């Protein structure tokens, strides 16, 4: 944190402030898009606004669980401290009741509040800046019709220097460029609609990307997977097929997963379950289909996260950082391949599959048995008392050495289990020794 502050000061000294000044200036003055005429049919406009507000999941952040809709007060934990979302109901004193549609547009598109405060990007305006003026207009029209709730905004609880709003001028100069979504004419309308929803309104990159030390990612297309550190979740990469690239599914399966949070083989949990519950479930089939069309069309990136770990995995005494990464990757692999039988907490499902939690076989210094079962499958003998045992399919053919090493390290160190981490070389050794 101190380093970040020092860098901020250095930026000031090295003249980035001058750049910031001009960018800030430009951001202020670029009001060309500010006023456009209102469509005439207001009922339709409001309905459309309600739909778009759902697609942007404004509800999710601006509503306390069980509390009045859009009245704010939800705590959003981050590594910089806690943000508290403001009241965006039409209450004139505590909400945005006296905002004009230009004020509202300025917030979404430029990340500035009515009183000129620069807004923290915890409000995902780096994505929302892509929203069209017409869509912003519709959302504003809808938000004016919801019940006005009088609820005072709370201050964020941020650590120094993040509590210095004025420093946002640097952040914006470096990482924020206001721009409405630009259609790619070489692509289909469906692809473009999907891109608009994913990059802008749906703000998928807000969670599905890694952030640098300034809390910035590589932009709205950065879906390479990222940690949500304060809440201990990992939003998997949507670019890698070994994580959550939608090419892992047929169009139909992908659409079912996005709209219902479950499909034949996968289930969305934690923050993603909330995204589905508060937002994606309300989308039309056409929009869901546009999102999956767009995400499926993303070229597959080679699994560099795994291969970067390969090197580190050659030593069993890996660094804490590597171990942390392995645990994150392991959680993803476990959810994909093992959870259905062995349970979300390794507790076993329907007591027909062995529990992995508190399983002594997993915490021995020898990894031979579990490793062999994972590679070659596990088939209990069929006996009189147990004539049709459940068996475990072999994963050797579908998982790489590093993936198996990561998985085994993960199950050896989850749910209270504790044991040494496993290396890819060790896995490879067992692959090459004969089974019996
Ligand atoms: C990821 C959480 C999150 C989402 C999603 C989100 N917001 Fe916010 N919003 C915030 C936070 C946090 C702030 C406060 C930012 C600050 O104080 O700088 C904020 C601020 C605002 C403000 C400024 C209010 C004021 O009093 O200054 C408006 C307007 C707003 N959001 C509207 C929206 C709309 C409309 C949507 C949906 C399109 C939305 N927000 C979605 C978290 C979110
Ligand atoms: C609030 C943070 C957040 C946002 C916003 C978010 N995600 Fe996620 N997403 C997650 C997390 C965390 C997971 C991992 C948990 C899981 O797999 O259920 C996840 C998982 C996923 C998965 C894999 C699910 C599986 O079971 O295979 C897909 C696909 C996905 N997200 C798509 C999206 C899309 C598309 C958007 C934008 C419309 C989006 N996410 C927005 C946090 C988020
Ligand atoms: C289709 C259900 C199923 C899936 C999927 C599955 N397992 Fe299993 N697993 C089993 C069964 C059944 C056994 C018991 C096998 C036996 O009796 O030899 C087992 C046994 C094990 C054992 C040995 C436990 C012990 O106490 O001996 C380990 C370790 C294990 N599984 C890990 C995994 C991992 C890691 C994955 C994901 C890559 C996975 N399993 C996926 C059903 C499954």
pLDDT one-digit tens code per residue, 192-234: 999 999 999 999 999 999 888 888 999 999 999 887 766 656 7
pTM (predicted TM-score): 0.70
pLDDT one-digit tens code per residue, 308-330: 444 445 445 567 888 888 999 99
For residue 49, pLDDT beyond 80: yes
Looking at residue 41, its pLDDT comes to 83
Q: Is the CB of 70 under 6 A from ligand 1?
A: no
* pLDDT greater at residue 346 or residue 376: 346
Looking at residue 330, its pLDDT comes to 94
* pLDDT greater at residue 47 or residue 389: 47
Q: Is the CB of 58 under 6 A from ligand 1?
A: yes
Looking at residue 385, its pLDDT comes to 62
The model's confidence at residue 23, banded by pLDDT at 50, 70 and 90, is very low
Fold type of domain 304-379+389-432: Cytochrome Bc1 Complex; Chain D, domain 2 (1.10.760)
Share of the chain above pLDDT 90, in %: 54
Looking at residue 18, its pLDDT comes to 34
Kindly state the average pLDDT of the residues 374-394: 73
Q: Is the CB of 96 under 6 A from ligand 1?
A: yes
The model's confidence at residue 45, banded by pLDDT at 50, 70 and 90, is very high
Q: Is the CB of 55 under 6 A from ligand 1?
A: no
Kindly state the average pLDDT of the residues 356-369: 79
For residue 12, pLDDT beyond 80: no
Kindly state the average pLDDT of the residues 79-91: 96
Looking at residue 305, its pLDDT comes to 44
Q: Is the CB of 404 under 6 A from ligand 1?
A: no
pLDDT one-digit tens code per residue, 125-170: 999 999 999 999 999 999 999 999 999 999 999 999 999 999 999 9
Nearest CA to ligand 2 atom 14: 235
189-296 and 304-379+389-432 share one CATH topology? yes
Looking at residue 86, its pLDDT comes to 98
CA dihedral 132, 138, 140, 141 (to 10 degrees): 160
Residues within 6 Å of ligand 3 by CB: 337-338, 340-342, 353-354, 356, 359, 361-362, 370, 373-374, 378-380, 390-393, 395, 407, 411
Atom nearest to 87 CA in ligand 1: 26
Domain ranges for the chain, please list them.
Answer: 2-175, 189-296, 304-379+389-432
For residue 35, pLDDT beyond 70: no
Looking at residue 362, its pLDDT comes to 84
Atom nearest to 362 CA in ligand 3: 29
Looking at residue 266, its pLDDT comes to 62
Centroid of ligand 3 to alpha carbon of 51 (angstroms): 44
Centroid of ligand 1 to alpha carbon of 51 (angstroms): 17
Fold type of domain 189-296: Cytochrome Bc1 Complex; Chain D, domain 2 (1.10.760)
For residue 183, pLDDT beyond 90: yes
Mean pLDDT for all residues in the chain: 83
For residue 76, pLDDT beyond 90: yes
Kindly state the average pLDDT of the residues 338-344: 89
The values of phi and psi at residue 46, to 5°, are: -65, -40
Looking at residue 312, its pLDDT comes to 47
For residue 13, pLDDT beyond 50: no
For residue 90, pLDDT beyond 50: yes
For residue 188, pLDDT beyond 80: yes
Share of the chain above pLDDT 70, in %: 81
pLDDT one-digit tens code per residue, 235-284: 888 998 767 899 988 999 899 889 988 776 666 777 888 899 899 999 99
């Amino acid at each position: 944190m101190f380093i970040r502050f020092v860098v901020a000061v250095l930026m000031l000294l090295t003249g980035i402030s001058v750049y910031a000044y001009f960018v800030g200036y430009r951001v202020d003055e670029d009001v060309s898009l500010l006023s456009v005429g209102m469509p005439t049919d207001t009922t339709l406009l409001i309905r459309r606004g309600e739909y778009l507000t759902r697609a942007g999941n404004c509800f999710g952040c601006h509503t306390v669980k069980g509390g009045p809709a859009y009245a704010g007060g939800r705590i959003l934990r981050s590594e910089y401290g806690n943000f508290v979302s403001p009241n965006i109901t039409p209450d004139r004193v505590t909400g945005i009741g006296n905002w004009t549609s230009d004020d509202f547009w300025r917030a979404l598109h430029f990340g500035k509040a009515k009183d000129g405060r620069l807004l923290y990007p915890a409000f995902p305006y780096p994505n929302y800046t892509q929203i069209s003026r017409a869509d912003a207009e519709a959302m504003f029209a809808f938000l004016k019709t919801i019940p006005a709730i009088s609820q005072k905004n709370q201050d964020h609880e941020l650590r120094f220097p993040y509590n210095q709003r004025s420093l946002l001028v640097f952040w914006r100069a470096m990482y924020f460029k206001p721009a409405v979504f630009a259609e790619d004419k070489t692509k289909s309308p469906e692809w473009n609609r999907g891109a608009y929803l994913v990059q802008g309104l749906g703000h998928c990159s807000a969670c599905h990307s890694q952030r640098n030390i300034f809390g910035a990612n590589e932009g709205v297309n950065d879906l390479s997977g990222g940690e949500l550190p304060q809440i201990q979740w990992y939003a998997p990469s949507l670019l890698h097929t070994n994580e959550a690239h939608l090419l892992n599914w047929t169009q139909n399966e992908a659409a079912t997963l996005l709209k219902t949070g479950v499909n034949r083989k996968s289930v969305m949990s934690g923050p993603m379950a909330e995204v589905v519950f508060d937002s994606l479930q309300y989308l039309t089939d056409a929009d869901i289909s546009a999102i999956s069309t767009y995400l499926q069309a993303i070229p597959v990136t080679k699994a560099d996260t795994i291969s970067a770990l390969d090197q580190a995995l050659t030593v069993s005494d890996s660094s804490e950082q590597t171990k942390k990464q392995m645990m994150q990757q392991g959680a993803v692999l476990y959810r994909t391949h093992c959870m259905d039988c062995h349970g979300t907490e390794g507790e076993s499902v329907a007591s027909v599959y062995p529990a992995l939690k508190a399983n002594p076989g997993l915490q021995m210094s020898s990894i031979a048995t579990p490793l062999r079962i994972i590679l070659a499958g596990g088939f209990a003998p069929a006996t009189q008392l147990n004539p049709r045992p459940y068996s475990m399919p072999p994963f050797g053919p579908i998982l790489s050495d590093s993936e198996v090493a990561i998985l085994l390290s993960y199950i050896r160190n989850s749910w209270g289990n504790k044991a040494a981490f496993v290396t890819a070389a060790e896995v490879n050794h067992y692959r090459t020794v004969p089974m019996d």
